[in-house]
Amino acid sequence: MAQKKDMIEKELISRTNEIKQSLEELFEENIKITGWDVPEADTQEASEILVDILQSKLDEIKEDVKSGKYK
């Protein structure tokens, strides 16, 4: 079991930058869309709201993982 966990951890660690980059691209794309839809939008305010939205979903996923949803 420990060997399997080590393999999973190594695999995910090897893709850490890729995973983080994907999340950042999602954030940047949504900020760009907000700017198109609301040209006078305050970028700082939009960024803070978007971070809250992303964090909310990450919190939901974390709870789902704890409850065994992805077993």
- Contact partners, residue 19, CB within 8 Å, separation at least 6: 12
**pLDDT tens readout for residues 10-63:** 999 999 999 999 999 999 999 999 999 999 999 999 999 999 999 999 999 999
Do 50 and 30 touch, CB atoms closer than 8 A? yes
Where along the chain do its domains lie?
Answer: 2-66
Q: Kindly state the average pLDDT of the residues 4-11.
A: 92
Per-residue pLDDT tens digits for 51-62: 999 999 999 999
The pLDDT value recorded for residue 64 is 98
